[in-house]
Amino acid sequence: MTALKFETGTVPFNHPSLPSPCKTWYKIAGDLFSSASGRPLVVLHGGPGMAHNYLLSLTGLASKHGIPVIFYDQIGGGLSTHYREKRLDTDFWTSNLFIAELDNLLLHLGIASDFDLLGQSWGGMLAAMFAIRGHPGLNRLILSNSPASMPLMVQSCNQWRSQLPHDIKDALSRHEADQSYDDPEYVSAVEYFYTLHLCRVLPFPKDLTDTLAYVEEDDTVYRTMNGPSEFTVIGSLKHWTIVDQIHKIKNETLLLNAEFDEVNDSCIDPFFSEIDKVKWYKFANASHCTMLEIPHEYNRVVAEFLLR
What are residue 254's phi and psi, to 5 degrees?
-110, 125
Show pLDDT as tens, one digit a residue, over the chain (308 residues).
568 999 999 999 999 999 988 999 999 999 998 766 789 999 999 999 999 999 999 999 999 999 999 999 999 999 999 999 999 999 999 999 999 999 999 999 999 999 999 999 999 999 999 999 999 999 999 999 999 999 999 999 999 999 999 999 999 999 999 999 999 999 999 999 999 999 999 999 999 999 999 999 999 999 999 998 887 899 999 999 999 999 999 999 999 999 999 999 999 999 999 999 999 999 999 999 999 999 999 999 999 999 98
Cα dihedral 185, 188, 190, 193 sign: negative
Tell me the residue length of the chain: 308
Q: Which residues are marked as active site?
A: 121, 261, 288
Nearest to 7 by CA among 27, 25, 21: 27
Nearest to 137 by CA among 184, 105, 168: 105
**How far apart, in whole angstroms, are the C-alpha atoms of residue 55 and residue 43?**
8
**How far apart, in whole angstroms, are the C-alpha atoms of residue 32 and residue 66?**
10
Task: Kindly report the three-state secondary structure assignment for every residue of 86-98.
Answer: HCCCCCCCCHHHH
Spatial CB neighbours of 78, under 8 Å, sequence gap ≥ 6: 25, 45, 50, 51, 52, 53, 211, 214
**How far apart, in whole angstroms, are the C-alpha atoms of residue 26 and residue 18?**
19
pTM of the model: 0.96
Spatial CB neighbours of 182, under 8 Å, sequence gap ≥ 6: none
Q: What is the pLDDT of residue 1?
A: 52
The secondary structure of residue 213, as a DSSP letter, is H
Q: What is the pLDDT of residue 258?
A: 99
Spatial CB neighbours of 241, under 8 Å, sequence gap ≥ 6: 148, 149, 150, 151, 152
pLDDT tens profile 15-43: 999 998 899 999 999 999 876 678 999 99
**How far apart, in whole angstroms, are the C-alpha atoms of residue 50 and residue 68?**
22
The 3-state DSSP class for residue 174 equals: helix
The answer to whether the beta carbons of residues 68 and 40 sit under 8 Å apart is yes
The secondary structure of residue 246, as a DSSP letter, is G
The 3-state DSSP class for residue 216 equals: helix
**How far apart, in whole angstroms, are the C-alpha atoms of residue 10 and residue 81?**
10
The answer to whether the beta carbons of residues 308 and 218 sit under 8 Å apart is no
Q: What is the pLDDT of residue 287?
A: 99
Q: What is the pLDDT of residue 38?
A: 86
If residue 24 lies in a helix (H) or strand (E), which one and from where to where? strand 22-29
The answer to whether the beta carbons of residues 94 and 100 sit under 8 Å apart is no
